[in-house]
Amino acid sequence: MNSPRHFLTLNDLSRDELLAVLRRASELKQLQRTGMPHASLSGKVMAMIFAKASTRTRVSFEAGMTQLGGSAMFLSSSATQMGRGEPIEDTARVISSMVDIVMIRTFDHEDIQTFAAHSSVPVINALTDDFHPCQLLADMQTWFEHRGDMRGKTACWLGDGNNMCHSYINAAKILGFNLRIACPEGYEPSPSVVAAAGDAVTIEPDPKIAASGAHLLVTDVWASMGQEAEANERNNALQAYQLNRELLDLADAEAIYLHCLPAHRGEEITAELMDDPNSVIWDEAENRLHAQKALVEFLLS
């Protein structure tokens, strides 16, 4: 079996590779916007395996593959033999013998690692309980397009130390920005993920201190997919970490703010910031399309 390149976390790309993907993402955005053909993946097929809900991820990968001249097929894990207990190893071997690339959104990060270990084609992590690296490509593209190089700048993560937070930690280490994580006790990111980022990351329980002078503020839902039963408890614990005007006013005068969506207005972010005409959150969402097209091109090149 050949050994394909996978994208299970951001750490699967070097700094130079990541920057090249981000540059290509902006190029592809221009090609798309000006109607220039860019069918670099003619005939290539992507299998998209979803064990959790999705709007952006599904639409961006499916539209992106079509725009690149290929195609994508949606597979819900519950409607395939995976839902009836066929081993991941067997599923990976079979699916990867038929398609060129696989995208998976699932619960356990270990499951995607197992799939990748038995896949003869590249596997992309489209969100696990632990990481969401595709969203970070879009976020970094958005930050870069609006404010330029993030090296030496400061980002502030507000709220739950979840899968998105973990991918921000990886990004800070690779791209050379400082990440302050503002979260209450009991909601910290994984100590091993934090430790691997060395001095790129600090945990600051006071959201006002964490946001002060930051160039980027970013948050995410307080209850991720799979944590619905804990929603009330989480809302109470995380209330003080809402991304709002008061925190934005403490940040750098040129600060932008991001949210991967879907958002809960009035919980982790105010309606006012969500609906502010200067918000770049909608660019961030659109950039999922361009960034993932660049990623797929890279992995298949």
Indicate which residues carry an active-site annotation.
105, 132, 135, 220, 260, 288
Q: Could you tell which of ligand NVA, ligand CP, none binds residue 263, using a CB distance below 5 to 8 A set by kind?
A: none
Report the residue number, 55 or 66, with the smaller CB distance to ligand CP: 55
Report the residue number, 96 or 292, with the smaller CB distance to ligand NVA: 292
Question: Is 221 a binder of ligand NVA (CB under 6 A)?
Answer: yes
Question: Is 163 a binder of ligand NVA (CB under 6 A)?
Answer: yes
Part of the chain binding ligand NVA (CB under 6 A), chosen from 69-77, 97-105, 201-209, 218-226: 218-226
> Within 10 Å of residue 278's Cβ, how many Cβ atoms?
7
CB 193, min distance to ligand NVA, A: 14
Question: Is 162 a binder of ligand NVA (CB under 6 A)?
Answer: yes
Three-state SS for 168-188 is HHHHHHHHCCEEEEECCCCCC
Where would I find the beta strands (DSSP E) of the chain? 45-50, 71-76, 101-105, 123-125, 154-158, 178-182, 201-203, 216-219, 256-259
Rg (CA), the chain: 19
CB 97, min distance to ligand NVA, A: 30
Question: Is 260 a binder of ligand NVA (CB under 6 A)?
Answer: yes
**Are residues 33 and 40 in contact, defined by beta-carbon separation less than 8 angstroms?**
no
DSSP 137-149: HHHHHHHHHHH--
Q: Could you tell which of ligand NVA, ligand CP, none binds residue 220, using a CB distance below 5 to 8 A set by kind?
A: ligand NVA
Where would I find the beta strands (DSSP E) of 69-150? 71-76, 101-105, 123-125
Report the residue number, 31 or 225, with the smaller CB distance to ligand NVA: 225
Residues of the shown chain interacting with ligand NVA in the complex, contacts defined by CB under 6 A: 127, 132, 162-164, 220-221, 224-225, 260
